[in-house]
Amino acid sequence: MSAVDTAAIAARARETGRLGIDTEFMGEGRYRPLLCLIQVVTLDEDGESEVRILDPLDGPGFDPQPLAEVLADPDVEIVFHAGRQDVAILRRCWDTTITNIFDTQVAAGFAGLRAQLGYEPLLNEVLGVRLQKSASFTKWDARPLSDEQAAYAREDVLHILQVASRLQERLETMGRLEWATEECRFLESISDDRDVDALFERLPRIGGMDPGVRAVARELVAWREETARESDRPVSSVLQDAALVEIAKRKPKSMERLTQIRGLHEGTLRRRGRAIIEAVERGREQPGIPSDQERGPAPNADDAPLIALGESLVRTRAMEAEVAYELLAARADLQKIVVALRDGNPEPAVRTLEGWRRVVVGEELLALLRGERTLRVGPDRKIVATDV
């Protein structure tokens, strides 16, 4: 698609203040997903959806810059459905920020619908529209696209602005639109950048290793990321985690020693053995990395009933507020709260105690766990909370 086309779409999005967008990508066999297709929708003068299919693989004629600027424009609402991966890929491939996001899957959880609701059932529940999602797992990097793929891609955004409007109307009536908007803001920071230090700390059993082993492992992770990026291959095809940790523990200085380590394929040894030895040597020369892994408190059997009690309150308030339970808390959040109160520590930084969630249930949850509130079963078989 030419620069004139994308500029026209961008201009229309600014005129109407909205742009719906979806992507198709291929992640199999690559370091990071390849952006294969972008579907955008704006409203025409009659308020009807106008869908455009943009092909980034269609040669040098495609210019994303006008749309990249729209994505970063806070005056234009950008509508996604389950947009985490779409946001991450567009930010990277178009070198842009994305602001003023409204995600219809996130919003559905505040509107009395199921959490993590798929696009097809959402359209059916809100608009009474049924889709034929027949091409979702096709090879989007193959050209030319089939008629089936083109139809699928168009349908994926055809109704997204209408369903967003319907959800916003419902949330406005319920007094929940601000909550949903707040929840969507976290998507602005989503990225598929791969941080070497974070990846290193997620290696199996690495937190318990001595500093010298950790230094070698960290160098191996950095080498693996660079090798995978340059060859555009998954990191697991370069070196598996288990083999990497074992190499770091043994610190082989020769190919003979390296070949004695389990989990290394012959092809890996042949193509990359020397580079692995060199990475180990660089790691040996680095200062040791002491473990600063945060260790949680020892499990306490007395915590389980309190976590279950807290969950009962959260589920009750979620039903009353017509908000999906998953939006309010996870079991890990409740466990951190229970442990902090048990040990007399400050409130943990968990989402249940922040923002709108604190208003809905966070403050009451703290009071319950401090013994200042009680739960009982009311005559209608519903849980009732009362002050002590």
- Spatial contact of 65 and 54, defined as CB atoms under 8 Å apart: no
In Å, how far are 57, 149, 158, 203 from 146, measured between CA atoms?
15, 5, 18, 42
What digits encode the pLDDT tens for the residues 34-76? 999 999 999 999 999 999 999 999 877 789 999 999 999 999 9
Residue 3 pLDDT: 44
pLDDT above 70 covers a percentage of the chain that reads: 95
User: CB neighbours (10 Å) of residue 124?
Assistant: 13
Please state, rounded to an integer, the average pLDDT across all residues of the chain: 93
Residue 223 pLDDT: 98
State both tokens at 62.
Answer: 């495609």
Q: Where in the chain is the domain with CATH 1.10.150.80?
A: 196-285, 303-387
Q: How is domain 196-285 classified at the architecture level of CATH?
A: Orthogonal Bundle (1.10)
Scan for tokens 């050209």, then name that residue.
143
Q: How many CA atoms lie within 13 A of 40 on its CB side?
A: 27
Q: Who wins on pLDDT, 385 or 361? A: 361
What's the predicted TM-score (pTM) here?
Answer: 0.87
CATH 3.30.420.10 fits 3-189, yes or no: yes
For the residues 302-311, what does the mean pLDDT come to? 94
Does pLDDT of 137 surpass 90?
no
- Spatial contact of 219 and 282, defined as CB atoms under 8 Å apart: yes
Among the listed ranges 82-96, 208-222, 315-329, 360-374, which one has the minimum average pLDDT value? 315-329
Does pLDDT of 297 surpass 70?
no
State both tokens at 33.
Answer: 């997903």
Scan for tokens 């890996």, then name that residue.
268
Q: Where in the chain is the domain with CATH 3.30.420.10?
A: 3-189
Residue 298's pLDDT band, with cuts at 50, 70 and 90, is low
Question: 303-387 in CATH: which number?
Answer: 1.10.150.80
DSSP string, 178-191: HHHHHHHGGGGG--
DSSP string, 280-325: HHHHHHSPP----PPPPPPP-TTHHHHHHHHHHHHHHHHHHHT--H
